[in-house]
Structure 1
């Protein structure tokens, strides 16, 4: 009887000591690391640098401190691209991921830019309970069942727990509003192309499905070879079908500029539409003002120049610090960082250290009614933002010009 009492008391004492140690660790603080995983080499450098700038902006507003100054935040921007590819590289992404897992000071990862990179990053970080929050990934299969390949999204979460969130609407929304916009533009028939990557095929598939439900005639859907020298034969074949619109799902780095040049050069008279994978200066530079003129582009958010209220104030502050080139994903990088910072505060409030990865992960995924510069939003059970506002733009005179708001908040 006394032995049982002693054993129980010992367990209570040990548990109390562990809890006290955790509280002391949280109270004393230390240094914690936040990293970004973005392509800082190649044509995506501009948009990646803009996100990095926005991350620094959010951190500097807090003097790189958290929890009443007890914790210092060390920010390290990682490059997930290689010079050989000139774009994000699967091997580099995987190597980075293992570095994050091994560095116990890393509490959160902001990124990646590309959905295909997220497909590699998430399952490596998942067993380590390390949270990822992306300002730009939109492939629906990363978070939502029934909208991607078989087994998605569970295949990315081997320990059965989610560790990924995003602050930008997913492709099942953008692809759908793109098709609806095509209907508004009086399109009756269309041909769909994609770049064969996760993001491109995902958004193109949603566009195709929605177009069909809207009564638009889909004349065909195929993937291009991103390394092709030209697409003249493909364009000639599509042109014979006389579609009112050609839709391309993909990113700048997969040769879309050459594709559009060949479409224009083939004397195609219909409309061309693409999603925000090409919404960057690098695309405008590559395609040129003549070939790009009149291109319809959807974006899973609001362009920087159209931001109002607190978001406009954020943009002005960004420009004063980093210059006039504000990429479309910058504000989402800023918001993603703020979500992490707010999660840090809630972790400390529970008496836990910021090196407790599971606690940080759970706090990020539990984000509710967050008061961002774009308005209040929550992270739902899948890891998706509740913001659904999107926009449509035209390429005019070598610039993206806002035309209309798509979707709803």
Structure 2
């Protein structure tokens, strides 16, 4: 047998690739991970680090997020990752947004066991010494978690290599995969199972199979900013704008009133796909975003007007000015046949892709279920099933 043989070969060291590597390594498999860049630089490293349960659509995504929550607790402790586990706060700014949150809590939230609470009055005013009392209400997502992706992913890589013997090949391009082997810029490697987690790269590997999914690329404008006043933020923050974006809320009848109000008063929010997210970093500054621009490729050009809209929303939500210290683009695969796809491209070759920006929320669960299916321990994950 070749010295390159392994049980499980993973293409991609984003959160999906690392999730599959961890799931395989825990089962005693010999695992190798290949990543074209010198360190993870894709969607997983550029995002908010929000692992949300409360915003997930009923069905497969909610179940995966609930499973991932427990896995994050295990992985966070094992790898030394700092997790904010105080939950998220989704603020209602308008009467329509408040009505939707109330309808969610009374209906779907109770029926499906979403762990949330609606804060008003004294409970709302008590948050951060009244910092957010200019809002009408806040939905506290009790199961939501948040981490700092830029540090968490390298910590996971280090943990998997050190404690599980996972072998990482960075700065190594995988040029082709077929049953039993992968051709890379460092030579050919053989494996019992190959899992391709290539993010929004739909052309390098399995191009024909991926084209049939008709996916697109989503480009996000992102910011890191320093608040003008001390703010020891411990929660991920969202606003009612997210209710038209996240599946837990977006199909509720009350969401239409929010959309109608946006179209009347700020139609650019819809055309630019803006809904405010704010995540704290360990260093006192805040990650702010985001906008959504869909297409076959990601334009390299950011619009300052889009950043300005997001900053205005953030400053209103926070009740203070912020100073931008960094700008970048997030890019992820989007608009496939569902929120994710698991495609068995050939004997022993599986492609696992996210078609939303929710990989941090569900990726650990998806990796666990896919590896279990590969080894005959469970059924294949299906975005259209629970």
Could you tell me the TM-score, scaled by structure 1's length? Answer: 0.24
Structure with the bigger RCO (C-alpha within 8 Å, sep 6+) is 2
Of Structure 1 and Structure 2, the greater helix share is in: 1
Of Structure 1 and Structure 2, the greater strand share is in: 2
